[in-house]
Amino acid sequence: MMQRNWNVKKRKDSAGSEFKNNPPSYSESIILQLLASRGIVGNDEVEKFFKFDYDADIGNPFLFSQMEKAVNRIINAKEKNEKIAIFGDYDADGVTASALMFETFSQLGFTRVITYIPDRQIEGYGMNREALNFLKKEKVNLIVTVDCGITNKEETVLAQKLGIDIIITDHHHVPEKLPEAVAIINPQMEDSGYAFKNLAGVGVAFKLAQALYQKMDPENIEKLKWSLDLVAIGTVGDCVPLLSENRVLVKYGLVVLSKTRRVGLLEMFKVGRIKIGENDFPDTRKIAFQVAPRINAAGRMDHANFAYNLILEKNRVKACDLALEIEDKNQKRQKITSEIVREVRILAEGPFKDKELIFAENEHWPIGVLGLVAGKITEEFHKPAAVFQKQPAEFVGSLRSIPQINIIEKIEECAELLKKFGGHSQAAGVTLKQENFHLFCEKFSRLIAQELGGKKIFPAVEIDLEITSRDINWELLMEIKKMEPFGKENEEPVFLVRNLKIQEIKIVGNGNKHLKISIMAEDSPKVFDAIGFGMGEKFFRLIKSGDKVDLVVNLKEDEWNGNRKIQLHIIDLRKSES
């Protein structure tokens, strides 16, 4: 594992406080510093960050410049008894957006609605010719996309020729030329009209659902709040920034998820041993590492319809069968991903050791896990990675990046070599003909090398603040909890604590994977338990009782048999210099 740099963020002036104390306590001052490092300063911004007001903070959907056109076309379809198809995506964001949209249409009295989610392996991302021809045979008059469509310029033209209108709801990178749809709802568009740009695909679908309720059934719009569990899952699963409106949507979504009525989700929790309920309130980490991966596993290993049907299933026996099947797919996904990562690691340590970009391709690698593999390789080697499946006539690939490279912009510079592409600054997908593969590799590698300018990029641990063991107390922990929900751009606070003496050290867990130490500072009587998940092999032989170490940690509450204590979750450690 590569040694990581420790970057302690510079302290910024923090003004303003929503705290009752005046001046704020020392723990509150730490929180203000954490907020300042996130760009949240001043009384108004700090107060707004801590305030969760659904009615005040969820924006008016009709601020989208094309929302009126979209809603009017959908209402017109209902009046004419036209058939509507929801065209979704196969990841957690797309699946939850598809389910939310279907539920909304059903609740508003639409009776001729179907959902189409493409097969990741056969069809790939977004609309395609074969799917449109199928929907034409199904006598579909209107397609509403969710979490896709913004790059489907040619497919939109084909749909028009087939007599099918298209409404696009998406949140991905906006290309120079837009599809000629009836309406496009995408906050990333310069003229979208909507101030908050970082909604997930399910968040954009939620805005359309809001708008439909406001026009068609305003008296019952409160029903829509029961869909916030889906909004939370999709938003967290897609790793969009958890600030502003996303923060509010996820906060209330976690409440709904804790008391969800969805039989399918309850069966998933039971089968997967996921502790979520009114007495086990979920956090974003539980969604990111337990719920979303299972929903994604359906589309990665088979078809996303398994997850979509599970979410909507009301029969407990059928839901249990679907949950068991998805659990099996998730376990297979984990195994296959690990095997391919080992193969790509050999390339990364060999021919690509001195390259700025890691390329790998194989005809036997499932498309569904390419993104996971690319992400793990990028994280391990701190280089952009592109992992492809070689097909008879083309290559399909997933790319992941490092913060220094906006990968979708570099891909766009290679557009002439690609059949289709899409994504975000740090994650994207491409499809290209076989004859263009090496040309793409050469040009894309050159663009990455030019951007990095020959600089060696080392992985870094971003540290919010340096504190002492005396600062670690229940008051600070409770103030940190007020900053939840945590996610992108509002990550869980990371602290550096220096010169802690190891009293006891051991390895625990299955396979002795985890490092557990008892530590204390010389100037304090406090003794803390610290645990480093997956760090047993790396650190156990490097440190011993009596050593002094510097720790990079998250602060957590640990409860066992009714006893509560503060526990340090180790992100990294080093022997102290003094």
Q: Do 202 and 268 have their domain in common?
A: yes
| Phi and psi, residue 341, nearest 5° | -60, -40
Last residue of a domain, one of 421, 452, 483: 452
**337 occurs within a structural domain:** no
* Same domain for 169 and 32: no
Task: Work out the end-to-end distance of the chain between its first and last CA atoms, rounded to an integer number of angstroms.
Answer: 25
Output the pLDDT for position 428: 93
Final residue in a domain of this structure, among 424, 452, 480: 452
Instruction: Tell me if 344 is assigned to some domain.
Output: no
- Do 289 and 427 lie in one domain? The reply is no
Residue 4 predicted with pLDDT over 80 = no
Taken in order 48, 52, 53, 56, the sign of the CA dihedral is positive
In a domain, 137, yes or no: yes
> Do 132 and 31 sit in the same domain of this protein?
no
Indicate whether 11 and 154 sit together in one domain: no
Residue 369: which domain range? 350-452
Cα torsion angle, 372, 377, 378, 379, sign: positive
CATH number at residue 69: 3.90.1640.30
Q: Each residue of 294-304: pLDDT tens digit?
A: 999 999 999 99
Cα–Cα distances in angstroms (integers) from residue 497 to residues 4, 81, 257, 494, 529, in the given order: 17, 65, 35, 10, 14
- Statement: residue 540 has pLDDT above 80: no
The total number of structural domains that make up the chain = 3
Is 119 in the same domain as 219?
A: yes
Which whole number is the average pLDDT over 95-123?
A: 96
User: How many other CB atoms sit within 10 Å of the CB of residue 470?
Assistant: 11
Residue with tokens 């002036």: 13
Q: What is the pLDDT of residues 173-218, one digit of tens each?
A: 898 899 999 999 999 999 999 999 999 999 999 999 999 999 999 9
Task: Let me know if residue 342 belongs to a domain.
Answer: no
Domain of 413, CATH number, reads 3.10.310.30
Do 536 and 566 fall within a single domain? Answer: yes
Q: What's the pLDDT band for 1 if we cut at 50, 70, 90?
A: very low
Q: Do 177 and 297 fall into the same domain?
A: yes
From 422, 452, 482, give the residue that closes a domain. Answer: 452
**Measured CA distances, 533 to 154, 262, 277, 530 (Å):** 48, 32, 25, 10
* Res 109: pLDDT: 97
CA 503, distance to chain mean position in Å, is 38
The per-residue pLDDT for 526 is: 83
Whether residue 334 is contained in a domain is answered as: no
Domain for residue 310, yes or no? yes
Band (pLDDT 50/70/90 cuts) for residue 21 is: low
457 vs 144 pLDDT, higher one: 144
Same domain, 86 and 203: yes
Residue at 221 is within a domain: yes
Tell me, yes or no, whether 341 lies in a domain.
no
Mean pLDDT, rounded, for 266-285: 96
With 0-12 CB in 10 A as exposed, 13-18 as middle and 19+ as buried, what is 283?
Answer: middle
Task: Identify the residue with better confidence: 511 or 195.
Answer: 195
Q: Is 385 helix (H, G, I), strand (E, B) or coil?
A: strand
Helix (H) or strand (E) holding 146: strand 142-146
Report residue 541's pLDDT band, with 50, 70 and 90 as the boundaries. confident
* CATH number of the CATH domain containing 18: 2.40.50.460
Q: What is the pLDDT of residues 348-360, one digit of tens each?
A: 999 999 899 999 9
Q: Pseudo-torsion of CA 369, 372, 373, 376, nearest 10°? A: -170
Based on the fold, state whether residues 271 and 399 are members of the same structural domain: no
Task: Say yes or no: 507 and 562 in one domain.
Answer: yes
Instruction: Answer yes or no: do 249 and 281 share one domain.
Output: yes
**In terms of pLDDT, which residue wins out, 522 or 193?**
193
Percent of the chain with pLDDT strictly greater than 70: 96
